[in-house]
Amino acid sequence: MKAPDFTLTAGPTPASARTLNALGSQLVYHLDPTFIETFRRTTEKAQAFFRTTNDMLLLQGEGILGLEGAARSLTRPGMHVLNLVQGIYGKGMGQWLESYGCVLHEIEVAYDSAVDPDDVDAYLTAHPEIELVTIVHSETPSGTLSDCSRLGPIARRHGALTLVDALSSIGGSPFEADAWELDVCISGGQKCLGGPVGITMASVSPAAWERILSNENAPRYSYLSLIDWKVAWLENGTFPFTPSVTDVMGLEAALDAMLEEGIENSIARHAHAAAVTRAGVRAMGLELWPVSDEISGNPITAVRVPDGIVHTELSAHIRERYGVMLSTGSSAGNIIHIAHMGPTATGLYPIVGLTALGSGLRDLGVDVDLGAGVEAAMAVLSAGPVGAR
Amino acid sequence: MKAPDFTLTAGPTPASARTLNALGSQLVYHLDPTFIETFRRTTEKAQAFFRTTNDMLLLQGEGILGLEGAARSLTRPGMHVLNLVQGIYGKGMGQWLESYGCVLHEIEVAYDSAVDPDDVDAYLTAHPEIELVTIVHSETPSGTLSDCSRLGPIARRHGALTLVDALSSIGGSPFEADAWELDVCISGGQKCLGGPVGITMASVSPAAWERILSNENAPRYSYLSLIDWKVAWLENGTFPFTPSVTDVMGLEAALDAMLEEGIENSIARHAHAAAVTRAGVRAMGLELWPVSDEISGNPITAVRVPDGIVHTELSAHIRERYGVMLSTGSSAGNIIHIAHMGPTATGLYPIVGLTALGSGLRDLGVDVDLGAGVEAAMAVLSAGPVGAR
Amino acid sequence: MKAPDFTLTAGPTPASARTLNALGSQLVYHLDPTFIETFRRTTEKAQAFFRTTNDMLLLQGEGILGLEGAARSLTRPGMHVLNLVQGIYGKGMGQWLESYGCVLHEIEVAYDSAVDPDDVDAYLTAHPEIELVTIVHSETPSGTLSDCSRLGPIARRHGALTLVDALSSIGGSPFEADAWELDVCISGGQKCLGGPVGITMASVSPAAWERILSNENAPRYSYLSLIDWKVAWLENGTFPFTPSVTDVMGLEAALDAMLEEGIENSIARHAHAAAVTRAGVRAMGLELWPVSDEISGNPITAVRVPDGIVHTELSAHIRERYGVMLSTGSSAGNIIHIAHMGPTATGLYPIVGLTALGSGLRDLGVDVDLGAGVEAAMAVLSAGPVGAR
Amino acid sequence: MKAPDFTLTAGPTPASARTLNALGSQLVYHLDPTFIETFRRTTEKAQAFFRTTNDMLLLQGEGILGLEGAARSLTRPGMHVLNLVQGIYGKGMGQWLESYGCVLHEIEVAYDSAVDPDDVDAYLTAHPEIELVTIVHSETPSGTLSDCSRLGPIARRHGALTLVDALSSIGGSPFEADAWELDVCISGGQKCLGGPVGITMASVSPAAWERILSNENAPRYSYLSLIDWKVAWLENGTFPFTPSVTDVMGLEAALDAMLEEGIENSIARHAHAAAVTRAGVRAMGLELWPVSDEISGNPITAVRVPDGIVHTELSAHIRERYGVMLSTGSSAGNIIHIAHMGPTATGLYPIVGLTALGSGLRDLGVDVDLGAGVEAAMAVLSAGPVGAR
């Protein structure tokens, strides 16, 4: 099969030429003074991206490495943890926490919904023994957000730390690590940054460090260790092992582009692409997956796949027939995405996604008003900010 | 500081244009059918590189991830393990094994020497309770090899599995995973392949899988898990999490170049560059670190730094003054490398290394016969195979 | 202004990653043996692209260099030349011919039409003194073709040589230099090949060489000279001056992709994209520029801009508002293009072009049925060959 | 044959990663507003590079296009021109001038020497009918400079215009288009800029324009025309034909690097590399080609090939045996170059060149003291400015 003409997935997304050039840059030795400077600059730019002054670690693997490393570092057997579940990533965190021996508390809602912060407040009031709240800010497969702007302050007021999976939100939906009083936040390169997969950013608050450093169960001398990076990099300016030179250079370029654009502008760009896409989806006669736009993240439009059609088969058909790669809801539900994440959250890319999705559904026998979809989407697009250009 | 003119380090090494182009390729979604094909092809090419028909895993992080994942997967508290130590990576493996609760047996020699396989044979005869032998094939900081061609069969004869760190040897020094009867072998992209750092290749024999799958202590649902990759990739053709698209594409390109050149030709190229370099080092009046050429790996010439000079200061001076990055022996000893690893194991790159090292030492007050060094090196080079071109 | 999201112009077109990698390859010395081999291979691949066994020259500049060099090489003052005019490039050739002192004969038709080969046959019968027929195979600004499959044999039967501008047709519309008995054909990299601008391919038949070599007016020792390249390259394997290393490497990569796809497949791909686009244009209520589909080239859909709107203003508006670059008919008429040329002649790119054009016209007050346009285009696309993928 | 390990030629030279990234950038339409901005910026940067406020043209071909276009634009049959000849490029200019019908006056010296400006002054005094002086600032094959700092003012004082070939000098040797009162100056991308071959910069003074515009023989509507570019670009901000998008983007990147480094710093870097190389050549027992260092350009060390050895055979041997590409003196003499031009005019690259040359000569039977050569070169290098890093 040919390479796809268009990749409109919920990450990895296409990268800009600038990021690709950085990824294809000549490798340098990791202790070369220029690379150490690159690493330092990248760390600082990641802080700006998270809007935090907390310590920032660049972990050398996909986002799941950061989530596992942080979860293991923050927990110990017998510890009470409140895990918020509104999708499969939240569900998986609970399974991890149980396997680490934590006493698991969960607030779970349907995967097209969002946990109500008031319920969390009430739960924490009822359970003062809870020391940690684990949150997925953006449930990628279902395209929903949780309200971290309230969850962070609630947890802190109750004396609990927070661990936040913000892989697919930062840069596309509003996110404020410090203003929202979040302790450990994890994000990755391959989502709204349009960058490399193999690197994870993790911010750690002083309170979180205090917990981690005093935790005998926190990984040490391990690929999973946050402490190793604190000792090596933060305290001594060197590395616990060879970092992925390529991914660091790619991440810096992607962060540069983000910060030069301005995070607010990037969020607005994602929001506009979402509005265009969602108008089109509705006008085609399809249904969005999240119960409301308020809980929908900007970078992903999650669409309910009509009964009788399996999301992965739909996606495979569209890829083969139209050269467009769309991602799906995985086990979260019968969902297909039109993502507008990173470099494709602009211009006519949503039209490509709408046309591919509408035509693919039609090929499988669904009655879709493609023309109306394009018309509705273009009406929103044409009314939008010219400044997007 | 400017980027280095030359990187002659023991990894990361410079990459070829072909590999850099692959690293800078447009990102695709990891479930795109073309990427799944790329992943499968890369896996098969890695098998050819290891000379094995065993299962091959592409783990998504630096080599140390593979070593930790394998060590944790193969061991359990109370298990007897023989760890061979001839350098700092061997030493570190022993510390890991102890922390995992293993009963640690060690044969340790000076870091400029190699463990004698006969001693291993004798030790295993005396200790039939040993279930695993952990070996570093190439001790990168000290530039020495262990004789895995004998160690593998000895261990197997005694019913022990082997775990082999072959990060910096495959492709530069002879290595035969199957012919040498090695069970779990780990290598990386950033050494003789001249490829990306962020990916590790791990071969696993059927006997090793049997041990791992029956081991309750083996990591599961973890970034460290080999089992997760077996279940997801080997058995179901999918991924336990998003693999690093960039690194996989870069690794395939580097493997392609290696296999097209021919592994034997690549080894001969590295051996010739080593001979050129070592003739030059000796003629300059300097001393090689390993006690003999027989135990020296082809990709790295480890040079004893004269007394009174600190290896890292020497390296920093050369980098600043001559634009050449040389790596050092780290805590293994007062060692500096001229590496001829990957794309720089050819032509006049050794002359650059010799000139930089000789001039750097001179600047720090050491009497070095630079002219004689270049003459001796060129004598070997000129007498060598024209076919290198 | 940001870089365009989409470039759907009649050349330069976007290049594939493979071609871009070649353009970004490290420069080598032009007399390096590897470059001489590259140049030789590229020449042979260009012959396959033209479907010719005639000599092939790679001239070091944009297509106009080849046209001027060939026109000057083939003509002398007082020579009778028949120039076929169905667009502005044909018109310009006539002005050149006059300035070179030729006796100019012209058959001119409206720029939305094509010269009738029967008229040429009759003219040549009436004017046996004509020694050369100059033809534009593809009039890029107006998107029309002339019928070289008949014009070539007609001219040869009358003993006249042919000079053919095939810049924007080869690879997208059928073209056969030898089967059609064409003497001097000129094409470029930046059209259906999706390659570099700075290089021109020129095929020269034995009969044309005979004319050129005996022509005292043919440029010699000049950037315009074909003879210099014959003497230097064809006869001596060297260059009259330094060729553009970058452009040659880029052209080879673009030719490789074309020949691996198969020229027939490439033509079919362009034809299908044209059918999709033209169905959409008509259903939107717009009018195609050429009087019939039969004389329309596959790579460009030329659309008549509605009265009251100026093509360049429309194009500028679309570029600014929607991030899509469309080219225009220049002085050939009030024409805007949706090009599907080179790498964009596939999949949903035509939908992008249709949506951009329709919305842009609407913004300027034209009543366009965008939804109907997309529906009609997708109907053709969905009915088309799956093999396009 | 493999690609060269090192290219140390007098152009094309290796390009920096930054320039290669620009050359490999996605093609855009030449009338895209971003490209028009790129073209304008590049023009201004070329002015800074020439140190001129005169008009700057970016001609779309190799340097010879600029020289021919300028020579044809400035001359007419019967016009008296003084051509200064100290090498083969000067000689070739004379042949052109004669073929254009000029009355040719020449001052010619041996090709290892430089024309004495006083002789030019005297000649112009004796021949007030001379309207143009044609000068090669840097005779690439023989590595010599002419003294344009004096020739320019002399010519102007005598009322003659100057046409200067500065292809291989600007950026490496001092050059001042305005301060030296030079009228038309030509340079290219592939020399000290380490950039693309396919583009030429030409500065034109008001007096030169006056001559050109009033010259009926100046090319118009031609690839050779300067006037076409003046009318299209300078007066109307558009192009006479499609410019080579790739080459323009590559040239801008190369100019950016030059201007950010600072032209003075670049010249100092080239001068230092020349001093290193020449010390090495002499200490090896070889002879430099130019009669004095004063007339030697910084970017090229031209070495006299010992009797009995043919320069091209020597170069071919070194390329094959050592992977180093060196250029030769062509028909200017039995000369081989170690060039230190562009990105390789730094650090240990001269050592690579010296070792390759010395070893190659030795292989062919010449007694060369390679060790002494490297020692002498490193003595100069180590004593040099640290700031080179």
pLDDT digits (tens, 9 = 90+) for D280-293: 999 999 999 999 99
- CA-nearest of B50, B191, B335, B23 to A242 is B191
Nearest CB partner across the interface for B363, out of D320, D358, D382? D382
Both C231 and C272 in a single domain? Answer: no
- CA-nearest of A23, D287, D111, D34 to C1 is D34
pLDDT at D384 over 90: no
Assess if residue B179 is contained within a domain: yes
pLDDT at B222 over 60: yes
Assess if residue A388 is contained within a domain: no
- The chains in contact with chain D, meaning 3 or more Cβ pairs closer than 8 Å, are A, B, C
Taking a C-beta distance cutoff of 8 angstroms, is the pair D366, D309 a contact?
yes
What's the CATH code of the domain at C305? 3.90.1150.10
Mutate one of A378, A380, A381 to test the C interface: name it (highest C CB count within 10 A).
A378
What's the number of CA atoms in the CB half-sphere (13 Å) around residue A142?
Answer: 27
pLDDT at D388 over 50: no
pLDDT digits (tens, 9 = 90+) for A290-311: 999 999 999 999 999 999 999 9
Q: Which helix (H) or strand (E) holds A349?
A: helix A349-363
Taking a C-beta distance cutoff of 8 angstroms, is the pair B272, B384 a contact?
yes
**Count of CB contacts below 8 A, A vs D?**
6
Cβ contact C221–D96 (<8 Å): yes
Taking a C-beta distance cutoff of 8 angstroms, is the pair C96, D221 a contact?
yes
Taking a C-beta distance cutoff of 8 angstroms, is the pair D380, D314 a contact?
no
Nearest CB partner across the interface for A25, out of D17, D24, D25? D17
DSSP character string of D199-231: -EEEEE-HHHHHHHHT-TTS--SSTT-HHHHII
Both A220 and A189 in a single domain? Answer: yes
Assess if residue D1 is contained within a domain: no
Distances (CA, A) of A252 to A13, A35, B86, B281, D86: 16, 11, 38, 39, 51
Both A152 and A34 in a single domain? Answer: yes
**Shortest Cα distance from B44 to chain C (angstroms)?**
24
pLDDT at D41 over 50: yes
What does the pLDDT average to over B53-79? 98
Residues 6 or more apart from B223 whose CB is under 8 A from it? A61, A62, A64, A65, A68, A69, A223, A224, B60, B61, B65, B241
Assess if residue A305 is contained within a domain: yes
- CA-nearest of C99, C53, C90, C55 to C164 is C90
Please name the residue of chain C whose CA is at the shortest distance from the CA of residue D2: C34
Residues 6 or more apart from D10 whose CB is under 8 A from it? D140, D141, D143, D168, D191, D299, D300, D327, D337, D339, D341
Cβ contact C242–D190 (<8 Å): yes
3-state SS record for A312-346: HHHHHHHHHHHCEEECECHHHCCEEEEECCHHHCC
Taking a C-beta distance cutoff of 8 angstroms, is the pair A141, A116 a contact?
no
What span, in angstroms and rounded, lies between the C-alpha atoms of A326 and A109? 26
What span, in angstroms and rounded, lies between the C-alpha atoms of D89 and D70? 15
First to last CA, chain B: 33
Give the pLDDT score at C386: 58
Give the pLDDT score at C389: 43
Cβ contact C322–A347 (<8 Å): yes
pLDDT digits (tens, 9 = 90+) for A306-325: 999 999 999 999 999 999 99
Query: Which positions in chain B have a beta carbon within 8 angstroms of at least one beta carbon in chain C?
Result: 17, 21, 24-26
Both A249 and A274 in a single domain? Answer: no
User: How crowded is residue A310: how many other Cβ atoms within 10 Å of its Cβ?
Assistant: 12
Contacts of D245 in chain C (CB under 8 A): 12, 190, 197
Contacts of A21 in chain D (CB under 8 A): 21, 24
Give the pLDDT score at A2: 92
**Shortest Cα distance from A125 to chain B (angstroms)?**
32
pLDDT at D389 over 60: no
Cβ contact C320–A386 (<8 Å): yes
Residue with token string 């986002």: A63
**Count of CB contacts below 8 A, A vs C?**
87
What span, in angstroms and rounded, lies between the C-alpha atoms of C254 and D79? 47
What span, in angstroms and rounded, lies between the C-alpha atoms of B207 and C243? 60
Contacts of C221 in chain D (CB under 8 A): 95-96, 99
Assess if residue A334 is contained within a domain: yes
Low-confidence ranges of chain C (pLDDT < 70): 386-389
Q: Are strands C161-165 and C184-188 parallel, antiparallel or unpaired?
A: parallel
Taking a C-beta distance cutoff of 8 angstroms, is the pair D29, C259 a contact?
no
Per-residue confidence at B1, pLDDT binned at 50, 70, 90?
A: confident
pLDDT digits (tens, 9 = 90+) for A184-239: 999 999 999 999 999 999 999 999 999 999 999 999 999 999 999 999 999 999 99
Assess if residue A84 is contained within a domain: yes
Give the pLDDT score at A358: 98
Please name the residue of chain B whose CA is at the shortest distance from the CA of residue C22: B21
What span, in angstroms and rounded, lies between the C-alpha atoms of A211 and C283? 66
What's the CATH code of the domain at B120? 3.40.640.10
Cβ contact C378–A355 (<8 Å): yes
Give the pLDDT score at C388: 46
Cβ contact D382–B324 (<8 Å): no
Both B309 and B323 in a single domain? Answer: yes
Q: Which helix (H) or strand (E) holds A17?
A: helix A17-23
- The chains in contact with chain A, meaning 3 or more Cβ pairs closer than 8 Å, are B, C, D
Mutate one of C16, C20, C21 to test the B interface: name it (highest B CB count within 10 A).
C21
Contacts of A370 in chain C (CB under 8 A): 371, 374-375, 378
What's the number of CA atoms in the CB half-sphere (13 Å) around residue D161?
Answer: 23
Both A187 and A268 in a single domain? Answer: no
Give the pLDDT score at A386: 59
ipTM reported for the complex, 2 dp = 0.97
Of B259, B282, B302, the position where a domain reaches its end is B259
Cβ contact C21–B21 (<8 Å): yes
Please name the residue of chain B whose CA is at the shortest distance from the CA of residue A18: B24
Both D189 and D286 in a single domain? Answer: no
Please name the residue of chain D whose CA is at the shortest distance from the CA of residue A19: D21
Both A56 and A202 in a single domain? Answer: yes
- The chains in contact with chain B, meaning 3 or more Cβ pairs closer than 8 Å, are A, C, D
Please name the residue of chain A whose CA is at the shortest distance from the CA of residue B18: A24
First to last CA, chain A: 33
- CA-nearest of A277, A65, A307, A314 to A167 is A65
* Per-chain mean pLDDT for chain A: 97
Contacts of C21 in chain B (CB under 8 A): 21, 24
Cβ contact D247–C242 (<8 Å): no
Contacts of D21 in chain A (CB under 8 A): 21
- DSSP 8-state symbol, A232: I
Taking a C-beta distance cutoff of 8 angstroms, is the pair D72, D223 a contact?
no
Distances (CA, A) of D313 to D150, D320, D339, D358: 38, 11, 18, 14
**Shortest Cα distance from B389 to chain D (angstroms)?**
6
What span, in angstroms and rounded, lies between the C-alpha atoms of D381 and D374? 10
Please name the residue of chain B whose CA is at the shortest distance from the CA of residue C34: B389
Give the pLDDT score at B139: 98
What span, in angstroms and rounded, lies between the C-alpha atoms of D160 and D205? 13
Give the pLDDT score at B373: 98
Contacts of A27 in chain B (CB under 8 A): 7, 12-15, 20, 190, 194, 196-197
Taking a C-beta distance cutoff of 8 angstroms, is the pair A206, A54 a contact?
yes
Count structural domains, chain D: 2
Give the pLDDT score at D386: 59
Contacts of C68 in chain D (CB under 8 A): 222-223
Both C48 and C84 in a single domain? Answer: yes
User: How crowded is residue D331: how many other Cβ atoms within 10 Å of its Cβ?
Assistant: 10
Chain length of chain C: 389
Assess if residue C1 is contained within a domain: no
Contacts of C356 in chain A (CB under 8 A): 348
**Shortest Cα distance from D153 to chain C (angstroms)?**
30
Of D259, D284, D302, the position where a domain reaches its end is D259
Cβ contact C21–B26 (<8 Å): no
Sheet with C80-85: strands ordered across:
C55-59, C200-204, C184-188, C161-165, C130-136, C80-85, C103-108
Contacts of C319 in chain D (CB under 8 A): 32-33
Q: D91-98, long-range: CB within 8 Å, 24+ apart, which pairs?
A: D93/D67, D93/D134, D93/D136, D93/D165, D94/D134, D95/C221, D96/C221, D96/D68, D96/D71, D97/D71, D97/D134
Q: Are strands D161-165 and D184-188 parallel, antiparallel or unpaired?
A: parallel
Both C59 and C142 in a single domain? Answer: yes
pLDDT at A170 over 50: yes
Nearest CB partner across the interface for D25, out of A17, A25, A26? A17
pLDDT digits (tens, 9 = 90+) for C72-124: 999 999 999 999 999 999 999 999 999 999 999 999 999 999 999 999 999 99
Taking a C-beta distance cutoff of 8 angstroms, is the pair C278, C290 a contact?
no
3 state DSSP class of D234: helix
pLDDT at A388 over 50: no
pLDDT digits (tens, 9 = 90+) for A2-45: 999 999 999 999 999 999 999 999 999 999 999 999 999 999 99
Burial grade of A357 (CB within 10 A; 0-12, 13-18, 19 or more): buried
Contacts of D17 in chain A (CB under 8 A): 25-26
- CA-nearest of A53, A81, A78, A268 to A179 is A53
- DSSP 8-state symbol, C173: B
**Shortest Cα distance from B295 to chain C (angstroms)?**
38
What span, in angstroms and rounded, lies between the C-alpha atoms of A56 and B185? 33
Nearest CB partner across the interface for C61, out of D221, D223, D250? D223
Please name the residue of chain B whose CA is at the shortest distance from the CA of residue A96: B221
Both C42 and C87 in a single domain? Answer: yes
What does the pLDDT average to over A78-91? 98
Of C259, C278, C308, the position where a domain reaches its end is C259
Assess if residue B60 is contained within a domain: yes
**Shortest Cα distance from B103 to chain A (angstroms)?**
19
What span, in angstroms and rounded, lies between the C-alpha atoms of D238 and A135? 56
Q: Which domain holds residue A251?
A: 17-259
**Shortest Cα distance from B369 to chain C (angstroms)?**
35
Q: Which helix (H) or strand (E) holds A184?
A: strand A184-188
Both A97 and A166 in a single domain? Answer: yes
Give the pLDDT score at A384: 84
